[in-house]
Amino acid sequence: MKTLKPIFDAIETSAHRIREAITNEDLCYSQECNATGDMQLKLDIQSDLIIAEEFSKITAIKEIASEEKEESETLHEEGRYCIAYDPLDGSSLIDVDLSVGTIYGIYDREFQPQNMIAAVYVVHGPRLEMVTAYKGGIRHYIFRHGRFMEQETVSLGDKGKLNAPGGTQQYWPQHHKKLIDSLFAEGYRLRYSGGMVPDLHQILLKGGGLFSYPGTEDKPNGKLRKLFEVYPFAYVYETAGGEAIDDKGRRLLDTRCDDPHETTPCFFGSKYEISKVK
Ligand code: F6P
């Protein structure tokens, strides 16, 4: 397999360009909705264009799929890698100045989790950070003094302290409410910003906990998209020593994705919390 270096470089360049855009552009909504029906900010569209432009320069990339677009796009027929990305996850948090992020899943030839070979996310918070999961290792970078500097490696402990429960409580199934309450009764602390990237980043960096987004009365298949959000974080969490499952207790990376915008209930955490979910 060829090195993914040019792809990681393009992700880094995109991170800087998106950071620029977040800092300088206005936050108005466009007149468009994305493929999942969310209103698009101009910044969502701009971030998507930036990434597509950077990836189009790399001949090893065969196909890209963006959360902002209905269909995937072939870039280079002779390429090998397929990349699915969410350009600006949680973008509605920008107007209150909370952290947002970009998520990438990199696949060998086909968008199925069994073909995933790397996952990357970028956190646009007070600092610019990046985490990569590749070849069995997690790398954590912080942008300082003009470059991404690698930090000490991160891993999930067997048991954490944080609880990040997504979705509208009113619509949670009873068994889910019981699970979440039982974690709080054990002393877990609530940490939920409503941005998947910072919420999962926090649990990862602070050694463990549970992030959950169940199937709910209003969203029986959950809200989070397999290709753009769930699989990349499942890959990161497993590489870091944690687990990621759906509401049937199946390993998310063993499931299939039949539509780029398919969603799934999902649970990410360290071993102890995932055993409680099961
Ligand atoms: O998919 C977008 C997103 O903003 C995620 O980043 C986040 O985890 C989730 O939605 C929050 O959803 P809710 O507000 O329903 O908990």
The model's pLDDT over 153-192, given as tens digits with 9 standing for 90+, comes to 899 999 999 999 999 999 999 999 999 999 999 999 999 9
| pLDDT of the residue at 28 | 75
| pLDDT of the residue at 42 | 87
Smallest CA-to-CA distance from 225 within 213, 240, 208 is with 213
- Does any ligand 1 atom lie closer than 6 A to the CB of residue 44? no
Q: Strand 189-190 relative to strand 162-165: parallel, antiparallel, unpaired?
A: parallel
How far does Cα 191 stand from its chain's mean position? 17
- Does any ligand 1 atom lie closer than 6 A to the CB of residue 224? yes
Tell me whether residue 48 is exposed, middle or buried, using C-beta atoms within 10 angstroms of its C-beta: 0 to 12, 13 to 18, 19 or more: buried
- Does any ligand 1 atom lie closer than 6 A to the CB of residue 223? yes
- Does any ligand 1 atom lie closer than 6 A to the CB of residue 166? yes
- Does any ligand 1 atom lie closer than 6 A to the CB of residue 220? no
Query: Using CA positions, which residue lies closest to atom 2 of ligand 1?
Result: 90
User: How far is the C-alpha of 45 from the C-alpha of 60, rounded, in Å?
Assistant: 24
Structure tokens at 57: 């320069």
| pLDDT of the residue at 72 | 96
| pLDDT of the residue at 1 | 53
Beta carbons within 8 Å of 55's beta carbon, 6+ residues apart: 7, 10, 61, 64, 75, 83
Dist. CA 91 → ligand 1 center (Å)? 10
CA 129 → CA 100, 139, 194, 208, 268, distances in Å? 11, 11, 18, 19, 20
Query: Using CA positions, which residue lies closest to atom 4 of ligand 1?
Result: 90
* Ligand 1 atom at minimal distance to the Cα of residue 168: 15
Dist. CA 274 → ligand 1 center (Å)? 20
Structure tokens at 109: 């030839």
| pLDDT of the residue at 52 | 98
Dist. CA 48 → ligand 1 center (Å)? 19
Dist. CA 194 → ligand 1 center (Å)? 5
Dist. CA 35 → ligand 1 center (Å)? 16
Dist. CA 89 → ligand 1 center (Å)? 8
- Does any ligand 1 atom lie closer than 6 A to the CB of residue 269? no
pLDDT < 50 stretches in the chain: none
| pLDDT of the residue at 63 | 98
Smallest CA-to-CA distance from 64 within 28, 24, 104, 37 is with 104
Smallest CA-to-CA distance from 265 within 181, 166, 195, 174 is with 166
Smallest CA-to-CA distance from 51 within 103, 123, 100 is with 103
pTM: 0.96
Q: Which of 38, 89, 201 to mutate to test the pocket of ligand 1 (most atoms within 8 A of CB)?
A: 89
Contact predicate 218/170, CB 8 Å: no
* Ligand 1 atom at minimal distance to the Cα of residue 199: 8
| pLDDT of the residue at 26 | 79
User: How far is the C-alpha of 15 from the C-alpha of 106, rounded, in Å?
Assistant: 16
What are the tens digits of pLDDT across the range 216-229?
Answer: 999 999 999 999 99
